[in-house]
Chain A
């Protein structure tokens, strides 16, 4: 089995080992339901009981298929819940970008969130006595970005983590936008 497969399996097992919390009324609701089923079957008589038992014993292949289906659904549910995190990458959260640059003539914010567009999609910051700022909704996820000062100088955000992969010889920063606080 490949490493990622083993990791996935271990994480799934770990997830399934978490205790399931049930509310206090669970036992009562189950017993009410059991008593109702018991009463219904007693009402149908012995033929009803035998019929119910026979329907299981006659179809072991179907029972096995059902069990396999349940396992598959549980497994898929665990995996799907994690992939939902990716799917949730669509919610936009307002983010404020600020750069102190008293001598700048213009400041724009460019990054993954606007496909590094320099013209039409760049976020143009407003100057407040040398403090340049712009707010914009940014989709949840991790983004690389940088300030473009005077249309030619790339400047990393001094208040944000650095993007370690500065492959193009210019600094950039990392931004993690999360949908909700943990």
Chain B
């Protein structure tokens, strides 16, 4: 019990300085963020660290907000939202997910994809396959108007069929061009997901 208390205290001491360290490294944070904003961000970052969520994407969000001229309260809302989305992704993807996968997954969750669907994709693809790009493309096509269910099914079928990142990238490009030309977003995603040549499909052709 005493050991556990000591461990908790040590963990709190270790995680408590994330934002303060970043401030020390980059004076832009202390120069341009007011005290209430710094305090709020520090609490969010500490909470993220305690949950095992990588904090670098949170700091990047702060930098982005500063560059885009957002005020402190808006930056706090954005960072809190990102922490929540990364937390959701972390719960379903597991400890094996990389920081990049979590960041990309958070983007998909932000776009409206249920985190549980991302977890299913991770289980389907296994440890070796990075889902950073598929999650990024999923977030992109949803933001272009493809309904969440259609977008999720398209990416799931591509990943399940063994499509490589290059092919999923081509899929994204084709879907976006189709939509810009006036295609119905769901139809564009469903149709383009069928024609992507995947290793499994190629194997079947050779058999």
Contacts and interface: CB of A to CB of B under 8 A. Distances in A.
Given A11-B127, A176-B136, A142 B103 contact: yes
Contacts of A83: 98
B100 interface: yes
A86 to B, nearest CB: 5
Interface stretch (A52-60, A93-101, A162-170): A162-170
Given A161-B139, A178-B165, A182-B164, A167 B61 contact: yes
B77 to A, nearest CB: 7
Interface residues of B, number: 56
A40 interface: no
Contact of A161 (B90, B110, B172): B172
Interface residues of A, number: 46
A141 B56 CA distance: 12
A82 B81 contact: no
A16 to B, nearest CB: 10
Given A4-B95, A81-B127, A181-B164, 13 more contacts: A7-B119, A14-B126, A82-B127, A116-B63, A142-B103, A142-B136, A161-B139, A162-B139, A162-B140, A164-B140, A165-B106, A176-B104, A176-B165
Which 6 A-B pairs rank lowest in CB-CB distance, beginning with the nearest? Answer: A7-B94, A161-B140, A167-B78, A116-B67, A164-B111, A164-B139
Interface of B: 26, 57, 60-61, 63-70, 74, 77-78, 81-82, 85, 90-96, 98-100, 103-104, 106-108, 110-111, 119, 122-123, 126-128, 130, 132-133, 136-137, 139-140, 142-144, 164-166, 172-173
